[in-house]
Structure 1
Amino acid sequence: MRPTETPTPADPDAWNAYLAEGNAKQARKRVAADVLLRDPAGRVLLVNPTYKPGWDLPGGMAEANEPPEDAVRRELIEELGLHVTLRGLLVVDWVAPHGPWDDQLAFIFDGGTLDQDQADRLRPRDDELSEAVFVELSDAGLRLRHRLRLRFEGALKALDSGRPLYLRDGAPVM
């Protein structure tokens, strides 16, 4: 093969090396995956992380090559000892670079409503969380940082409409 020719699938080794080189040059996105969980009274679960200021929705960052829905399930088990069946996607938010951070994709999934026994037994299970509490929707909006509050409000709209929302820095795009 001449140096200017693009490899083809007919030469699997050359083709895979070509694809790997292209993959190495592609942008990598950070992925956050959170869940909207409610108790029988309709309150929403918030958690208080120990590693950053402010309240948050349960969830966290995906690991390398981890699907967002698996990341949120893993985080719920690690941090709260909670196994939930996700009921669907509520929000995808493209978050622009800010401060020292590159851009990211932030997902919010619908975790449904926990039964009262599950809600009553919910406690942080590791040192990443200091508290886990159910709060009224109006109180949740006051506790969340601006960027997350917009995403949370989008998730509530998606829950009401039955359709997921795509956001760009918290603002609806489509």
Structure 2
Amino acid sequence: MRPTPADPAAWNAYLAEGNATQARKRVAADVILRNLDGHILLVNPTYKPGWDLPGGMSEANEAPDDTARRELKEELGLDITIHRLLVVDWVTPHGPWDDQIAFIFDAGTLTHDQANTLRPHDEEIAALRFAPPAQAHHILRERLGRRYSAALDALASGLPRYLRDGEHTA
């Protein structure tokens, strides 16, 4: 017989058992951050090949928008405001990785002073650069490039995008 909420201790133990057996998802949160010329901030991580959008992986029980803010503070010394959600992408398992939920948020525009003094703040970022939006697409890895293009579409339309492995859904 299953416990009921009438027995709170048994009910919580039952729910905890179910929680322990459910799938866990990796969560990533990146941002589109621009300078006043409309160029997109890209970062070159030290721990993987290629250029990336600023952001990173969520810690346990961390909201994706909090992840983006934390990562930008740690890696670039930026205290940013998240303006809105642009993309949610379910990423299929690949290589040694399980599936993942990847978010991209709009982080607005940096002032000239912020953009001109921006430097990596920890060992995870080797370099950064601002690239025109079309050029940024070609600099990013293919999987991220598709997500990035959807984020630009969302910026233009005002409507967030849901993707499955970087592809638009119906």
Short-chain TM bin: over 0.9
Runs of at least 5 residues in structure 2 that lack an aligned partner in the other structure: none
TM-score by length of 2: 0.99
TM superposition shift of 1:137: 1.1
- Which amino acid in 2 is paired with 1:66? E
Query: What is the aligned-residue identity percentage?
Result: 66
Shift, 1:173, TM fit: 1.0
From 45, 70, 74, the counterpart of 1:78: 74
Structure 1 unaligned spans of 5+: none
Alignment of 1:37-116 (within 5 A): 37-116=33-112
Deviations along 1:44-73, one digit per CA (max 9) or x if unpaired, are 000000000000000000000000000000
Report how many aligned residue pairs link the two structures: 170
CA deviations 1:111-154 (Å, max 9, x no partner) are 01111110001100000000111111122111110100000000
Mapped to 1, the partners of 2:14 and 2:117 lie a distance apart of 52
Aligned partner (choices 21, 30, 33) of residue 34 of structure 1: 30
Corresponding residue of 2:113? 117
What one-letter code is carried by the residue in structure 1 that aligns with 2:107?
G
- Structure 2 counterpart of 1:7, one-letter code: P
Separation of aligned partners in 1, 2:129 and 2:117 = 11
Structure 1, residues 91-122: CA drift from partner, whole Å, max 9, x if none?
Answer: 00000000110000000000011111100011
CA distance in 2, matches of 1:114, 1:52: 26
Backbone CA RMSD of aligned residues: 0.6
Larger Rg: 1
Q: Read off the aligned partner of 1:92 and give its amino acid letter.
A: V
* Matching of residue 169 in structure 1 with residue 165 in structure 2: yes
